[in-house]
Amino acid sequence: MNGKFELESQENFETFMKAIGLHEDLVEVAKDIKSTNEIEQNGNHVIFTITIGPKVIRNEFNVGEEAELETLTGDRVKSVVQLEGNKLIMNLKGIHGVAEVNGDTLTNGSTGTGWT
C-alpha cells in the first residue's frame, strides 16, 4: 500500500463531517478540497498522512492493535485499524471508515450509527 494518492471520491462525506462535529460552514468549504494521502507500510506498521490544504494529519499505527488516532477535527480517539487486501478499515467514535487504494487513487467511504 505504499504511495502517495490523490483522493478520488468520498462517500457520505458531508454527513460524516457533520457527525464528527465540524461546523457546517467548514463542511461547505472542505467538501470541494481534494486531499492528498500518503501511506507508508512496513509489515504491520503503517503511517497514514492526510494533507487537506494547509492541514496535515499524521497517524501511525500497527494493524490489528489499538492506537490513538487524530480525526479531522483534531480529536484523538482510540481505534484498531484492520488491513484487508487494499483496504484500511477503522471504527472511530461510532463511525465505520474504509480507505481503499486502487492504482494511484484512494476512495474513502464512511457510515455511522444514526446518520447513514
75-110 pLDDT, tens digit per residue, is 888 999 999 999 999 887 777 888 888 888 888 777
Strand partners, 51: 36, 56
Domain of residue 33 covers 3-112
Nearest in space to 24 (alpha carbons), one of 39, 10, 14, 38: 14
Domain containing residue 61: CATH number: 2.40.128.20
Query: Nine-digit cell at 59?
Result: 497517524
What type of residue is 80? V
Per-residue pLDDT reduced to its tens digit, 39-63: 999 999 999 998 987 889 999 999 9
- Mean predicted lDDT score pLDDT of the chain: 81
Distance CA 116, CA 105 (A): 24
**Could you tell me the pLDDT band of residue 8, with boundaries at 50, 70 and 90?**
low
For β-strands 66-70 and 76-80, DSSP reports them as antiparallel
Query: What is the chain's Cα-based Rg?
Result: 13
Q: Cell 457520505, residue?
A: 12
Domain count for the chain: 1
Q: Enter the pTM of the model.
A: 0.77
User: What is residue 38's predicted lDDT score, i.e. its pLDDT?
Assistant: 93
